[in-house]
Structure 1
């Protein structure tokens, strides 16, 4: 199809990914064991992708030090390696290399879409019961698939918003836009008065584009996007209907009206934040998790504001993808003799005094652990946090990339800029998504994977023991 040619030739460079890094850590052998085993200590192995926020590593190290103090004779070895986007490959590589990892910290999406279906994650349903009341209501929902809990959320619930230079808006007499027409007028004024790019997107990172589709598709489906995707993945409807096509065409309007230009296709997160902080752009669309990094580069230069994705379909409420991102799961290739240590650490890491610094490093908007306060000690931050909680958070639905498989997400991510720049049509895009799904089904994909597991498969993900409560 045309889309395959365009994506292969035109977008390969834009969305090329680096060499995948395997999960680090020493392979243990019968002769040598781990360093801790040689010294007579028990060792708890914690792994995850490289930490992304200042102070995050230190917060984990402080929790590990406290755990060692409370459990004499136990060592905690932490190994952060690889990127956020390479987690599935890193964990699989660690398993094949017969490494031991007792707890792994990563994003919830890869757990839902890849690791749990691949029997990489232990069923934590019974393990976490003694600690359920430590989580903010609804937070464990993002860790639950097929009525089983596969991880625990140690982070902040995120969603998507437009960030903007509020100081510049005030200077130009601009109000937060509620509709696409209002946003287009705002961008027109910014172009005329400031001669800068109104909206600059981190478009060289393919993973950010599906957030746009989640917004427009929520509107074209009349707020039934999650239900429609679940029906699509279950084979009950196709993905090449008018609703899907219109969702792509609405995104194309941002390109057609000049709100987004080709500069966004070659801009990464650092470039986007730099342009925003230097007032070379006025607006960008991103996750609430980005606020800490944006605030750091902006400093006191100007005040930051946020507004919701604009209404593009009359009479339909805007909805935004959301869920608690950073999670902790138990790999099925853990040392099951360490299950008591694993759950003791879970108990410690869900105490607000230790979860707090980890969550706060990312600038928590809606923390997952009770007793951890949302960021917002200064007046400017308070306005931002209040706006998110009073408005954006009221319209959160599940991230679609937590529902559909990664192969579908990849096609959506690549199709959006291709449609936006006119290299393919919206119809080409939805047909490619539909054909990708059909191919996955022939290869054995099943949305409700848990419903057909054998007793042997369930045994693989079931803990050999359920330790006593350490609460």
Structure 2
């Protein structure tokens, strides 16, 4: 046994003995038979980090499953930390650099989990999936793909990643004689009509920088370039982000800002403020992810939710991408660091099953969140808006979300670049920043 571990265990035993000798109150968990006293079994310690820190229904559902595990497993001393999303990834990278990863933690799919895999910081959860085969086989096709490496699964998706739903206020559209835009030109016409009438055309909150990239650019650029081009550009193999088609996509996005599509101060508002601005009727449209469904369900009235409808982003004439698409795919999930073994690993896998198992999937879905799991959604348990979006996602194809495929440096470059672009920056300059960051990060 490692000397430091042995010394630590000896200290724990010594302190426990001293506490007992001093008559420490409360239930110690000891069992007495005759004159013999049996020491209590040492608890398994387990840490879990996640970013479900908000008041939305999905966050409450996930935290509720963690609480359920805690109540059902008194033998586990669970340290659960809910960290706000905006700083979550950086916190993980900081502890990863110090080799102090939490035992279980939430990770996004794509480049985020790949960084942990490449760093040798996580372990396969195949023992859990092989034990619970009926559960494993009930996930939708491809659900594990962005969470797998070398035919081994490293996390189970808690929810589907749907990032570019096009929400619109039916009442405002009808009152102002505007038809729901199906092409980019129709979208610009709608923007002009609403702006002329003093109504914010599109609600946007890009304070955290990722939203414009994840919810707007990922889908818009795909309509212009197509998926194959993007995947080649990510690998820097036959395509570059300075190519004319990507510069065109950035130009279309800049065109929205130039037309006055967004409210004042959009780079200072977060996505929650953006969603509240929209659902309160101050904006006619919003391009956001499926997380908005659970956020608005937690705060909006039935009347507010009933007047909102959802569709796909308008098509781009001459674009190479399929217009009947939504950026997204399999969502993030809980992974296990390299550290847990034995009983601690057993507890970690059981925690993942509690969060992402059939009961967990049901709880998340009923929190108005789309999941990668085959199940019937009880319409009476969800909002009308969620049910519309849920059915919409069954009829479309999913395309890549940019920051799920770009390197960390590439994602940071485009996120910051879009903030600059929407405030008057040049598409060519933003494209070059992304190209340089992505090429450097993969050594090309």
2:233 corresponds to which residue? 229
1:283 corresponds to which residue? 285
Output the CA distance in 2 between the equivalents of 1:360 and 1:100: 31
Q: Which of 263, 269, 272 lines up with 1:270 in the alignment?
A: 272
2:20 corresponds to which residue? none
Q: Deviations over 1:112-153 (max 9, x none)?
A: 343222222213345533332142332112312454322111
What SS class does the counterpart of residue 118 from structure 2 fall into? coil
1:186 corresponds to which residue? 190
The equivalences for 1:129-144 within 5 A come to: 129-131=130-132, 132-144=136-148
Q: Check conservation: 2:191, 2:259, Cα contact below 8 A.
A: no
Output the CA distance in 1 between the equivalents of 2:110 and 2:116: 9
1:209 corresponds to which residue? 212
1:241 corresponds to which residue? 243
Q: Please, what TM-score do these two structures have when normalized by structure 2?
A: 0.79
Q: Does 1:322 align with 2:328?
A: yes
2:438 corresponds to which residue? 437
Instruction: Point out where structure 1 has 5 or more consecutive residues left out of the alignment.
Output: 1-27, 446-471
Q: Check conservation: 1:50, 1:83, Cα contact below 8 A.
A: yes
Q: Deviations over 1:76-97 (max 9, x none)?
A: 5141232224334333444567
How far residue 439 of structure 1 moved from its aligned partner, in angstroms, is 2.9
1:200 corresponds to which residue? 203
Q: Deviations over 1:15-51 (max 9, x none)?
A: xxxxxxxxxxxxx954349999986233343332343
Output the CA distance in 2 between the equivalents of 1:210 and 1:92: 21
Answer with 378-387 or 56-65: which moved more. Answer: 378-387
How far residue 177 of structure 1 moved from its aligned partner, in angstroms, is 0.9
Q: Deviations over 1:363-389 (max 9, x none)?
A: 222x23344637664673365235523
Q: For this pair of structures, how many residues does the alignment match?
A: 404
Q: Check conservation: 2:62, 2:360, Cα contact below 8 A.
A: no
Output the CA distance in 1 between the equivalents of 2:77 and 2:400: 34
Q: Which of 385, 410, 413 lines up with 2:412 in the alignment?
A: 410
Q: Does 1:299 align with 2:308?
A: no
What SS class does the counterpart of residue 441 from structure 2 fall into? helix
How far residue 332 of structure 1 moved from its aligned partner, in angstroms, is 1.3
Q: Check conservation: 2:43, 2:77, Cα contact below 8 A.
A: no
Q: Deviations over 1:239-291 (max 9, x none)?
A: 21112211211111112222235532222223212322332222111101111
Q: Check conservation: 2:163, 2:290, Cα contact below 8 A.
A: yes
Output the CA distance in 1 between the equivalents of 2:405 and 2:127: 24
* Structure of larger gyration radius: 2
Q: Which of 157, 177, 182 lines up with 2:181 in the alignment?
A: 177
2:255 corresponds to which residue? 253
1:63 corresponds to which residue? 68
Q: Does 1:114 align with 2:120?
A: no
How far residue 295 of structure 1 moved from its aligned partner, in angstroms, is 3.1
1:74 corresponds to which residue? 75
Output the CA distance in 2 between the equivalents of 1:389 and 1:214: 16
The equivalences for 1:148-167 within 5 A come to: 148-167=152-171
What SS class does the counterpart of residue 174 from structure 1 fall into? coil
> Over aligned residues, Cα RMSD in angstroms?
3.2
Q: Describe the shift of the 1:48–1:275 C-alpha distance in structure 2 as closer, same or farther (beyond 3 A).
A: closer
How far residue 428 of structure 1 moved from its aligned partner, in angstroms, is 1.4
Output the CA distance in 2 between the equivalents of 1:112 and 1:284: 29
Q: Deviations over 1:388-439 (max 9, x none)?
A: 2344xx121232211111110111111123223323x222122222222333
Q: Please, what TM-score do these two structures have when normalized by structure 1?
A: 0.75
Output the CA distance in 1 between the equivalents of 2:359 and 2:283: 39
Q: Check conservation: 2:366, 2:382, Cα contact below 8 A.
A: no
The equivalences for 1:91-130 within 5 A come to: 91-94=92-95, 101-109=102-110, 111-125=112-126, 127-130=128-131
Q: Describe the shift of the 1:92–1:404 C-alpha distance in structure 2 as closer, same or farther (beyond 3 A).
A: closer
Output the CA distance in 1 between the equivalents of 2:233 and 2:221: 10
Q: Describe the shift of the 1:153–1:339 C-alpha distance in structure 2 as closer, same or farther (beyond 3 A).
A: same
Q: Describe the shift of the 1:86–1:148 C-alpha distance in structure 2 as closer, same or farther (beyond 3 A).
A: farther
